[in-house]
Chains A and B, each alone.
Chain A
Amino acid sequence: MPAADVSFSVPTSLEEALAELAEEDAIALGGGTSVGLLLKNGLIEPQKIVWLAKVPDLRGVAVDDDGGLRIGAAVTLRELAGSSPVRTHAPALADAAGTVGNPRVRAVATLGGALAHADPRQDVPPVLLALDAEVRIAAPSGERIVPLAEFYTAFMETALAEGELVTQVVVPAADNRRTHYVRFTPGSEDDYPTVGVAISIARGADGRISRAVLALGGVGPTPLLVPQARELVGRSAPDPGEISAVAAAAEAAARPSDDQRGSARYKKAMARVWTERALHACLGEG
């Protein structure tokens, strides 16, 4: 526990929040499930804690006319899981948010906080990757938009610069898209997944696959995209060989480390198995 020469502020506008976060050693606080732990263990010693829950611009889920979603960074995982627009337009995202941690985590943990914390074992990021999500980032100097695929730079590191804040996550609309997420928890169900697999498949009017995105969680320093899913584009009903080839690519792409949730070898093997299963589920009926 650090000595307490820290201040706590509750900005009520985005401008105010950004101005405060620009100060030296300021840290953004969402729900505190990560920051609280880091503070408590003396792993961070900020001068200023800036709590974002009262910033209206960071709250709420907006839906575009085409069904695209704009999700405020201070939206909690509980809100995400229960949001009817999210349930309608990206049900896999709502489901994934609803499996994180426990009800107390979900009640306070925010989407922006989860992205900024960048723990590669999380459930939500692979789903957002599969949904081609983009991250809006603001600083006092202005705003930029970064594809989520470019947001994660290294283990627990992101493209956020000092003083920058995730303000919104944009999930673009897509016609006829199905998304599927599986988390493989072979030990306790209440654990980070040994591997998480998110797959999103969109089809054109002709029924052929127009876009296929595969993302993995838990098997690398960051959530990973498996570009070979692209091979499925143009097919209407990929054959088992094609599905297996993508699954093999997932195994090859996985860069896990040995830990309590499995050896690197096992996690790679499971990335293949669960990719294959997720693809079948996503392509199949129901």
Chain B
Amino acid sequence: MSRLDAWAKASGEARYVADMVLPGMLHVALVRSAVQHGRVRRVDSEQARAVEGVVGVFTADDVNRNTYGRSVRDIPILAGEKVRFVGERVAVVVAESRRAAEAAAALVEVEYDDLPAVTSAEEAIAQGAPLVHDAPWEYAGAAISQEDGHNLQSRVTEGSLTEVEAALGGAEHVVDRTYSTSSGHQGYLEPQACVASVEDGRVRLWVTNKSPYRLRTQLADCLGLDPASIEIEPVLLGGDFGGKGSPMDAPLCVELSRLVGRPVKLVLRYVEDLTATNPRHPARIHVRVGCDREGRLTGMALRALLNGGAYGGFKPLADVNLHGIEDCAMAYRVPALFVESTIAYTNTVPRGHMRSPGAPQAIFAVESALDELAAEAGLDPVDLRRRNLPRTGEPSSHGTTWLEARGLETLEAAVKHARTEQPEVPPGWRHGEGVAVYVRGLPGPPVTSVRLVPAPEGRVRVEVPIPETGTGSHTMVRNRLAAELGIDPEQVEVVQVSTEELPIDPGVGGSRVTVGMSEALGRAAEAWRRGGGDEPVAVELRPGDSAASAPVVCYCAQVAQVAVDPVTGQVKVLEVLSSVDVGDIINPAAHQMQIDGGAVMGYGFACLEDLFEEDGQFWAANLGEFKIPSTNDLPRLRTVLVEGGQGVTSANVKPVGELANVPTAAAIANAVAAATGCRIRDLPITSEKVFWAIEEESAR
């Protein structure tokens, strides 16, 4: 049975936020900062106000001056005295049509007094650097204190550097390398959008946001409203990949609707999505790792420095950091481990989450370094990994003992299948194979709510709090509930309801939807059966309701096959094989697309995607320049499912959404090194980088 929204989507019937029309609705266009860092001296909106159809032009003086954020609340609704990045919202036009609003916005003149700017994380944390925020520790939810240093959003450390240095002192082989990754973007294709209506003190919102219940709290906190007065309506999302978890322009749109007394709609132009929302953090990561004579890892120190941009409020975790960096060595036994992740404020676009936040960057560094260590030690890179993957029952490098550790099986399956069918290599090109491994833990105990309601003709209506972001979550709910109740999936109707209808949910993200929903549906089905199915059944899982979930992890090992033209440096990724540690699979087609889509996104991160950031501005500001993979660019994709894993809930599931995009870059970098003898430590791996590396190598 196909996914439940398939026909609506393919026929164009499906409605997204940008398709919403409310009676009397006005349109919004933003005026964005042209400078990296400056004081706003004057905003001249006279010409803009004269444009036919313009209802109002507003600045920070007109809106709530509180700041907002997912954790630290440091983002202003409109920049006030100061702008902190090129693209920041400075003023806004509301008009009868989008055309009028955009025409008028282009006529708003803003004068700035330039301030010295910092546009890289390195500059930002250097002594005497200009300050992006004068006292960032004073923001509500700040994760740093004044003593931590200037221009810091967050600094997280784990383990003892002294212990690692002692361990590395006794190591037989040590490598010490620095890796870097570029500015990328989630690349969802639906621009961010918001429709807001404020009437008689009641706020209704349709917004490209995947965490409606959290959004309600964030808005209430910022605007000083009673959460009960805010209703977030159900929406369909046109892709997320981590980019649609923040309030973004919702606080502004609420303020505008209040000011003009009519509903308002803002749909970003894609250039705004690419340059002024919350793209991926560029990173510079230093790894020191050593092993003994047998190739057993003795210690690792990883220090990451990330450019967090002008605001930290787009990151949801309380430490305002990225868990993918913190978990960088989880796949292996590492007796002595030190991890430090520093995120700096800079005068560039604020950065947010993207699919396995921090992990693609960190795993690129760690898995590249392991290959470099293997080379140093004269070991086969697969062998080195074999010797260091923990077996079931052994504690991981972070001290946890998992229910099962299937890293070795997953790696062996990857290597075995990759080598059964060698890809064809063009004549004159060099072939290389590269391996990389990633492991991801499960989210914390499930928190969510659902309701089952009897529907006509013996059908069951299941009301869920989460929007369908594209993963097939609603179809998964249908299939899972049908299985729990032993009925035909056709008999199940899945509906996202507004925040008025259900009590709690943390939103889509953190690979938690399938796990959380499976748990909630299991309980709901039980109650439904007990009650005979005549009455509605509501299930609410609050924090602390469930015991800490079993320490379950999922491994993903990838093998990349590349061909390199040694004359031009051109890299063709011939194949990416993903081996995935799975439990039971609720929807095989959707599960496979998480793997395929992940691997293609990993390939894009590895080889193509770069916003070409220079001095806080992006040169690749549209999809003609910021290239994401197309059908012409695809490597051959293969998948091996390592079945029989022990997952969680009665459905025995393991998350899959944030796995296959992570190890790809390292697998490709390792394959390129195997093909050419040249190590590319800076993503993306462009042909030009390979070309100069080969030139340099042959000049030696």
Binding site for B on A (CB under 8 A): 1-4, 42, 184, 186-191, 259-260, 262-263, 266, 269-270, 273-274
B610 is an interface residue with CB less than 8 A from chain A: yes
Q: Which residues of A contact B103 (CB under 8 A)?
A: 1-3
Tell me, rounded to whole Å, the shortest Cβ–Cβ distance linking B107 to chain A: 10
A273 CB contact (under 8 Å) in B51, B567, B571, B620: B567
- With contacts A2-B103, A189-B633 known, is A269 near B691, CB below 8 A? yes
Q: Chain A interface mostly helix, strand, loop or mixed?
A: loop
CA of A270 to CA of B692, assembled, Å: 12
The 5 closest A-B pairs by CB, nearest first: A186-B687, A188-B627, A189-B632, A266-B688, A186-B570
The answer to whether A190 and B687 touch (CB under 8 A), given A1-B99, A260-B610, A270-B568, is: no
Q: Tell whether B619 is near chain A: CB-to-CB under 8 Å.
A: yes
Assuming the contacts A3-B103, A260-B610, A273-B567, asked whether A186 and B686 have C-beta atoms less than 8 A apart, the reply is: yes
Interface on chain B toward A: helix, strand, loop, or mixed SS? loop
List chain A residues, Cβ under 8 A from B620: 260
Q: Is B612 an interface residue (CB 8 A)?
A: yes
Collect the chain A residues with CB atoms within 8 Å of residue B610's CB.
260
- A187 x B567 contact (CB < 8 A): no
When C-beta atoms are compared, the residue in chain A nearest to B627 turns out to be A188
Which of A188, A263, A269 interacts with B608 by CB under 8 Å? A188
Q: How far is the CA of A33 from the CA of B105 in the complex (A)?
A: 25
Among B51, B568, B630, B688, point to the contact of A263 (Cβ < 8 A): B688
Contact A187 B686 (CB under 8 A): yes
CB-based nearest B residue for A184: B568
Q: Which residue of B lies closest to A186 (CB)?
A: B687
B568: chain A residues at CB < 8 Å are 184, 186, 270, 273-274
Interface residue B629 (Cβ < 8 Å from any Cβ of A): yes
Q: Which of B628-646 contact A (CB under 8 A)?
A: 629-630, 632-633
Q: Could you list 22 examples of A-B contacts with CB < 8 Å?
A: A1-B102, A1-B103, A1-B106, A4-B99, A184-B570, A186-B568, A186-B569, A186-B686, A187-B627, A188-B629, A188-B632, A188-B633, A189-B632, A189-B633, A190-B633, A191-B627, A260-B612, A260-B625, A262-B687, A266-B688, A266-B691, A266-B692
Contact: A190 with B627, CB < 8 Å? Answer: yes
A189 to B632: give the CA distance in the assembly, Å.
6
- Among B570, B610, B629, max chain A CB count under 10 A is at B570
- Give chain B residues whose Cβ lies under 8 Å from the Cβ of A4: 99
CA distance A191 to B619 in the complex (A): 15
- For B568, give the chain A residue with the smallest CB separation: A273
A205 to B691, CA, bound (A): 42
Contacts of A2 in B (CB 8 A): 103
Docked CA distance A1–B687 (Å): 38
In Å, the complex CA distance between A260 and B625 comes to 7
Residues from chain A with Cβ under 8 Å of B99 in the complex: 1, 4
The complex places the Cα of A278 from the Cα of B304 at a distance, in Å, of 45
A260–B569 alpha-carbon span in the complex (Å): 16
Tell me which residues from 363 to 414 in chain B have a Cβ below 8 Å from any Cβ of chain A.
none
B587-612 residues at the A interface, CB under 8 angstroms? 607-608, 610, 612
Give B325 Cβ to nearest chain A Cβ, in Å.
27
A184 to B567: give the CA distance in the assembly, Å: 13
Give every chain B residue within 8 A of A262 (Cβ-Cβ). Answer: 686-688
Q: How far is the CB of B550 from chain A (nearest CB, A)?
A: 42
The docked-state distance in angstroms from the alpha carbon of A84 to that of B692 is 43
In this complex, what residue of A is CB-closest to B620? A260
B34 to chain A, nearest CB (A): 15
CA distance A169 to B567 in the complex (A): 36
